[in-house]
Amino acid sequence: MAILQNKTALVTGASKGIGRATAAALARAGAHVLVHYGRSTQEAESPVAEIQTKGGRATAISVDLETPEGASLLAKKVRSIVGDRLDVLVLNAGISKAARIADYTVEDFDSLFATNVRGPFFLVQQLLPVLGDGSSIVAVSSAVARTVVGKPDVENPSILAYASTKGAIETLVDRSRSLRHSLQQTRLRGSRTILVAEVHPA
């Protein structure tokens, strides 16, 4: 039997790249995968069709996590599908921007942090009631949170703001273990264990 048979999983930003590959892997393991995407319906239909063609279960869900109500809206849609149990939450959705420091705008900065940091934070908050004992939260960070990429200076484009968002996720999940600690306290009150992990793709 597949190890995730009868389990449910949500992968944010799952229409392409790492998110798409993760969704496919979870489906192969037997999970019913909720494929989240932001705006492109066509991009989301492809991984869902691929999973279903191979005998897996997948459902596409569209929500823009950049908006203030995005996390709450996505959580409501997820709960309407999975009911009172979500087994795996993969926080993968994110956006990036390369620009010279002088060319970044406040809107650029706010957009990056809204999608990459605020969205995951409040999605965990909103889905915590259905993340039961033995469930998992996996946050996708990036090597840029720890390593300088390219030759960033005032004249060259950089992904400094994007790297900052990934550093924030790393702090939340890994370095300070603040999320783990918070969930541990929740577990002590509610007798459940939730695994929290972070991955750093190159």
Q: Determine whether 76 is an active site residue.
A: no
User: For residues 168 and 161, what is the distance between their CA atoms, to the nearest angstrom?
Assistant: 11
User: For residues 149 and 108, what is the distance between their CA atoms, to the nearest angstrom?
Assistant: 19
Residue 178 to residues 146, 170, 197, Cα–Cα distance (Å) = 19, 10, 12
Helix (H, G, I), strand (E, B) or coil at 149: coil
Q: Which residue has the tokens 């995951």?
A: 120
Q: Determine whether 176 is an active site residue.
A: no
Q: Determine whether 104 is an active site residue.
A: no
Q: Determine whether 15 is an active site residue.
A: no
User: For residues 183 and 174, what is the distance between their CA atoms, to the nearest angstrom?
Assistant: 13
Catalytic residue among 77, 162, 164, 178: 162
Catalytic residue among 15, 135, 142, 158: 142
Of 43, 167, 37, nearest to 112 by C-alpha is 167
Q: Considering only CA atoms, give the Rg of the chain.
A: 17
Catalytic residue among 166, 176, 182, 191: 166
Catalytic residue among 15, 135, 141, 158: 141
Of 31, 30, 33, nearest to 1 by C-alpha is 30
Catalytic residue annotation = 141-142, 162, 166
